[in-house]
Every structure is written in structure tokens, then in C-alpha cells.
Amino acid sequence: MAGASTETHGPDPKSLEMLPAPGCLSISAAAEMVELYWMALLRDAPLLAFQQHRSPPAGCGVDISAHDGTGANKLGYQVGDRINTARKAVNTVYDCAIRHDTDPGKLLAPLDLQAGTGGADIQLQTLFRTGLFGEDVGPLISQFFIRPIGYGVQTIDTLQAPYLAKRDFLLTHGDWLLAQNTGKDKYGRDYGNCNNYADQRNCPNNLYYPTVDGTAGGVVIKRTISTMRDLARFVNRDALHQAYFNAALFLDGIGAKLDQGNPYRGNRYSREGAFATLGGPDLLTLVPRLPAVHLRLFGVRNGWYTAVAARKCMAACCKCNTMATRGKSVPMACQCLCQSAAPSTTH
């Protein structure tokens, strides 16, 4: 029903269209799969390792090499080497997609990716980013995710309890299929009743979050978002508009400059100010509405009615299941490009 609904605030979703997604069997889709595989293989690498200029705040003591090697507190690989291998592989497959894909929903440079001599231009600074202008400068994680957010006289703490590194889930086809068919994990928990602190309290034999004393009953150690696993955890449990709302609160709180078109910008009026119209309260009322409109337009209408696209997790499972259990061939694009996706590793 959401995709067929009518919106009276702003453009109606049914009057807008978006470009089609890359076809499931296209070179572009295969290239995106390669990128996602590499993101998974680097899910526990510190985000600082993806910056060209690694300059952590004074006193934070961040050392990328401290994660290298094997052991309880190590990742089991050389972080810098794996990231460099990932960058080369991702750049290669995106070069191929830009130059050779003929699918109607193919990736385009510089619209979807920064353009390079071979087609794409994936650098350390732009690896796993979205291709937007200005992403070649600054850290991968936005300051809106790590700074305390003023909420009236209260403060929103941006620290979160991270999942333990190398603590992985849905590792077998059976576990994945159970989750797909029933919406529950092997312990019988659905989405609303898992991935929270109660898991560790109710299942003391399973340690999900780091604690001060290393036990399930210990005090959970919190931190700002530091890895892609942390980002995935945030997205998994966030309120729909949480990230946007926090950003709006932060910008309003520091008095960020208004847009040139705002009539209240500057000192044009001595007795009037932006408030219910084009002011802070107007902004904070509008922001929660936008994700709902976006869901109806892109997530439901274009995602289900007009530009149907397979989710990458489904495409990946179909590929692996076909290769492993049925012995049938998969499209050459997926087969060739995904060979670049996984080095010999168990993590």
C-alpha cells in the first residue's frame, strides 16, 4: 500500500521516477557484489585505515599495525595489505563495469563513481564511499556520528556498544535460509527481540559485546563508531530518521549558516526570526517526515513496482548456493568478477 499512497507535502511519489538499478546479471551488479564482499572481509578493520592522511586526535593512541597478525586481539591479517588488495580489486571490476556494461541500469562515471583513465578511479580515500563530490577529503565516518548531540538541555551520547570483532553470524546456508523463511535466528528470536543487550544477559555462554572483565555479566565497553561492523550495528537498530535528526540537531545547535534563499538569513528583520517557518522547529518537524516519503518513493514504489532489483544478500546466496549445491554454471560476469572478491581467509 505504501508504494501506491499519495503524498500531499511536496512532490507526490507517483509523479517521480529514478534510474533503474543494475540488472542482477549485469557486470555492474557483479562489480557491486565484489565491493560488498571486500567490505565484509574488512568489517573489523579500523575506519582510520581508509584515510589517506591518518591523523588521529592527539592522545588517542590509534595504531593501525596493532591490529595485524593473529591472536585474541588481532584480526588475523595485515590491515594495510588487505585494504590495498581490496582497492585494486574493486577498481578493476568497476573499470570493467564502466567500460563494458550495456545494461540499462549500468553504473556511470562520474555519476556513480569518480572517473579515471581506466573507467573508475578508486583510491584509498574513496574506497567503499558513494562517489559523491568531496569524498576525497576527510574521514570516512561523519562527525555527526561521533560528536555529542545537544537535545534541548539534554545531550545525546553517540557512544554505542559494539559487537565483538570476529564474532560472526549466519555462517551456514541453513542459518541464512531459516532467517529468510521464518524471520528468526536459530535461537527462535525475531528481529525485534535480538541484537540487543538482553542477548548477552539471557545467553551467558555467548559473548556478543566487549566487557571490562571479559565476562557476559561484566560492564559493556562503549565507543564511537570505529569499524564497518559498528556502522552495520547502528543501521540494524537505529530509529528510521535517527542519523538525519541528530545531524539537524547538531547543525541547529551550533548555529550553522542558513541557505542563501532563507529570508531570515542575516539581519534583514529586527523583530522577526526563523522559527515555525524556515527555522529550527520547522527543520526538526520536517526531517522525520522525509524518510517516510523516501521509503514510499524509492524503497517501496521504485523498489517493488517500477524498478525491481534483487537485494545483494539474496543475489549472493543464490550464486553461492548454485555453485556449491547444484553444480550449475552462473553468469560469466558474476563468476569472473567475484573471483576477485575473496582471498584465502577465514575472517
Residues 76 and 171 grouped into a single domain: no
Q: Does pTM top 0.85 for this prediction?
A: no
Q: pLDDT tens, 96-113?
A: 999 999 999 899 888 888
pLDDT at 330: 47
Residues 136 and 68 grouped into a single domain: yes
Q: Judge if the upstream peptide bond of residue 110 is cis by omega within 30 degrees of 0.
A: yes
> 528583520: which residue's cell?
269
Name the packing angle between helices 173-182 and 312-321 (round to 10°).
130
Q: pLDDT tens, 272-331?
A: 778 888 888 888 988 888 777 777 666 655 655 555 666 666 666 666 665 555 554 444
Q: Is residue 117 part of a domain?
A: yes
Residues 103 and 188 grouped into a single domain: no
Q: Is residue 7 part of a domain?
A: no
- Beta bridge partner(s), residue 190: 184
Element (H, E) at 116: strand 115-116
Q: Is residue 233 part of a domain?
A: no
Q: pLDDT tens, 124-179?
A: 988 998 877 787 888 888 889 999 999 999 999 999 988 888 888 777 878 888 88
Residues 115 and 83 grouped into a single domain: yes
Residues 127 and 61 grouped into a single domain: yes
Residue finishing a domain among 222, 242, 261 = 222
CA torsion through residues 289, 295, 297, 298, sign: positive
Q: Which domain holds residue 191?
A: 161-222
Residue finishing a domain among 178, 201, 222 = 222
Q: pLDDT tens, 231-244?
A: 998 988 888 889 99
Residues 35 and 113 grouped into a single domain: yes
Residues 120 and 182 grouped into a single domain: no
Backbone angles phi, psi at 11, to 5 degrees: -65, 145
pLDDT at 275: 83
Q: Is residue 311 part of a domain?
A: no
Residues 26 and 114 grouped into a single domain: yes
Q: pLDDT tens, 13-61?
A: 677 777 788 888 889 988 998 999 999 999 999 998 888 765 554 444 4
Residues 99 and 32 grouped into a single domain: yes
Question: How many whole angstroms separate alpha carbon 93 and alpha carbon 333?
Answer: 10
The total number of structural domains in the chain stands at 2
Residue finishing a domain among 222, 252, 271 = 222
Residues 98 and 27 grouped into a single domain: yes
Residues 71 and 129 grouped into a single domain: yes
Q: Is residue 156 part of a domain?
A: no
Question: How many whole angstroms separate alpha carbon 50 and alpha carbon 225?
Answer: 14
Q: Is residue 252 part of a domain?
A: no
Residues 182 and 134 grouped into a single domain: no
Cell numbers that stand for 103 in this block: 545494461
Q: Is residue 316 part of a domain?
A: no
Q: Is residue 315 part of a domain?
A: no
